[in-house]
Structures are given as structure tokens and as C-alpha cells.
Structure 1
């Protein structure tokens, strides 16, 4: 445990991503042990490997940091606030973490209802708008591996529970640039979501606009897509 914590501290130090040799030196952990620990932390989403045998903070570590600090850079809050004011609905920011995503920010909409989601909640990828937008930007072999590992559990009668149906939906997500959760994760809840991409095109996380089916139609929520996509593009350099 102590070795893992020292390695996490070394990876999270300013100036990253850090070379393996620098992580080993900073953490004072033998190289063979460090490599095994980094592999485990990578699998769990706390560390993200980079080119050139370098390691940086992974999405799960970033989510944990946001939970501890109770916030994020003001510019992130401003971008999400503009989106919330534009659409008038609840807005979520989540980071990708292994087989799931983790909400790190939630702004309630100007509506007479409250959703059950909360900061720190982990959600599945296959049945949520953010999750499907993330999957759409992963290689198909990685998506199939996630399906094999986590399965496609049915959350509602509308959940996509077969690999073929999900892969076809991900193709549609790529075509239109955003995903739709039309009561697939929770009854009466309708969302659209789009991925936030890193410099290498890999999905870091995503943003969603959430409402309820009895107030906002699918056509109406899809009309929020331009504002949603503008927000994800603005957030990309900040995550």
C-alpha cells in the first residue's frame, strides 16, 4: 500500500507525464515492483500510460482529486454554467474510469425536479449518454473487451443488451457527434452526451444534458447538441 501511494504521488507531481525512471526514483521503489504497481493502477484507471514510457494521472485519480478539493478550475465551472444557462437543464461532467464513468460535477437545471445523480457516483458506460459517447471513441476491440468483462446488464426495458445493438448505436453516435440515453439507464430520464477528448483523441470523459421524458421530447433535447458540443470542445484543454 505504501509503495502504491508513493508511486501515485510521483505520477501526480507537477510536470507530468513522468518517465518510468523518474517515477521509480521519486517513489524510491524498485523498478520491477514499480512496473507491476503501475500496471495495476493503470487497469484501475488511477494512472494513464503515455508514449515514451511515461505515466500521468488517470481519470479515476482526477475524479478523486475533484472530490477531495470540492471543485475544479473556475473556467470549468464557467463553461458548464454557460451550458446549463443555455439549455435550462441539469448538466453533468464525468470522467472515464475503466469499466465505468464517475460524475465529478453536477449543475441542477432550472426545472421543478431533481435527478438522483450525485458527484462521486459511478455509472455504467453502455446505458448512459456520456458512456456511449466515450465508447464511440474507443477502438472496437477495446469496446468488445469491455463488453466481455463487464457485460451489458439490463437497467431498463430500453437498455441495449447485445453487442450487435450497442456497436450499431456507437456507429450512429460517431455519425451525429453525440449520444442519446432515451430511458436506457433510468425510467423517465432522457439525456444527450458528448465525449471530451484528449490531445491524442482518446476520450477523457464527457458532458451530458439531462431532463425527464414528460417535459422534454427527444427532438427538443437533441436540439441542445450544438451547445453541448461547444462545451466539450472548450473543456478539452482543461481536463
Structure 2
């Protein structure tokens, strides 16, 4: 998108030797689009800019451009959300998509085999976003939904993602997020988290013990793209008073094989 650089960006470029700390014009536009379309919209300018890591002056100009071309919509009082073009694009990507059908079929098989809820999620920035949820038969269900974002360090899928990161990128993410607690069981100490991630790499799967939601225990395995990079994962979520940890661990092979079957479906 031409014409969206500001003096704020130019000053950053002079200091850092690149367009800005937020990336080039395309990076900024896409990050802002993602932030504005996050669940809970409409979102205010300041919140969108902060989530995308883009200076407010630049963010305002880019958001106005995205509204003008239909990718975002303004509520008329300073709030932004997804526009008709991004909704249409989302429908085109998912409706009847062979990859989406193959992914859902694998997850439905896993849900039937374990008789519990299954999630597929990917890393989006410094968070995890659920792409697919196949609810299990239990009358008690967790609060997750498709499109919901969760911290990486408190979820089984997120731990799989973190375990696949280079050490310098992991360090940046830990510093950026601050590892906030979701429950009293959340890993908030960087050293403890690194020790846990070492176990994830060794086992090939991650366990989450009521770290994101009390009463929920999960097992997850990493999903990779065609290059072998971990981009997300698959998890089985259980209610702690209905399934034991031993039962959960017994599903490690089937969870890993499901995750392996999804390799390359998302790029």
C-alpha cells in the first residue's frame, strides 16, 4: 500500500536502518488488520496500534486506508472491526477448502477416539489462535471457541510452538509478553518455562495442567509447515474430574500422529 509512511516511521528508519521497529508498510498493514479483526471488536485505535506494535499516527492512517478499501469497517465512533472484503476472503479460504476438510476430518477422528474436545491452533504474533474446535460428548465443556486467542505459555499447543522457537526469539517473546498468569498453576518464571519446553522437545508433546483454565488438563503435539517449522498444534482437552492424567498421557501417540498428518496443510 503506497503512501502510508509517516514522519514517525522515517525517524525510526533513520535510527534503525529499516522502515521501523514494526516492519515495512506491508507488515504494518497486515498486523493492524489482524489486530482490528481480533475477537471482541470493535477495537479502539490505541488498542489496535498497541497490539500490532505500530505507532498511533501510522496506525490511524493505515486503518483509514483499510476502511476505504473495505478490509475493515469503522463503527463511526472510533472503533474498528472486520469489513466486507476480509469477511468474504475468510469465507473463500475456508468454504469447501480441501485442506480445511482434511484437517477437520483428522480432528474429528481424534475426538472420537479420545471422547474429548480437540483443538487445532496456530501462532498469531505472540499469541495462540484456535482455528478449529471439535467438541467432545461430555456435558461439561471449556470456554474456548474458534477465533479465541490465548497466551502461548499457558496452553499445550502454545508450549509446542515455544519449544520450536530459536532461543533468541523465545527470549524476545518472554520479555515482550511478561508471562502473565492465567491461573495459580501458570508457568510465569522464565527458567521454569525453559525447563518445561526442554521436556516438550524431548517427549514430542506438551502437557498443560490447569495452567490456562482451572479444571482443564490438555495434551498437545506440534503441527509443522512444509519446511518443518512449528506453526501451531493439536490438543485434546479433558475435564480433570472426568479423566486422569494417566489416561491423558496414554493418548500421546495418537495426538502426535494426528499432528503429523496435518503437516503442510497450512503452508
Alignment map for 1:80-229 (pairs within 5 Å): 80-229=107-256
Q: Distance in 1 between matches of 2:202 and 2:172?
A: 23
Q: Relative contact order, CA 8 A, sep 6+: which one is greater?
A: 1
TM-score normalized with structure 2 length: 0.66
Q: After TM superposition, give the deviation of residue 219 of structure 1 in Å.
A: 1.2
Unpaired segments of 5 or more residues in structure 2?
3-18, 35-85
Give the structure 1 partner of residue 264 of structure 2: 237
Alignment map for 1:71-82 (pairs within 5 Å): 73-82=100-109
Is the partner of 1:79 in helix, strand or coil? Answer: helix
Q: Distance in 2 between matches of 1:45 and 1:171?
A: 34
The 3 A distance-change label for structure 1 pair 237 and 68 is closer
1:151-198, Cα deviation, whole Å (9 max, x unpaired): 110111111101100000000000111011100111111001111011
The 3 A distance-change label for structure 1 pair 166 and 124 is same
Q: Distance in 2 between matches of 1:211 and 1:177?
A: 19
Structure with greater Cα Rg? 2
The 3 A distance-change label for structure 1 pair 143 and 216 is same
Q: Distance in 2 between matches of 1:100 and 1:148?
A: 14
TM-score normalized with structure 1 length: 0.74
Taking only aligned residues, the RMSD between alpha carbons, in angstroms, comes to 2.6
Give the structure 2 partner of residue 40 of structure 1: 28
Is the partner of 2:129 in helix, strand or coil? Answer: strand
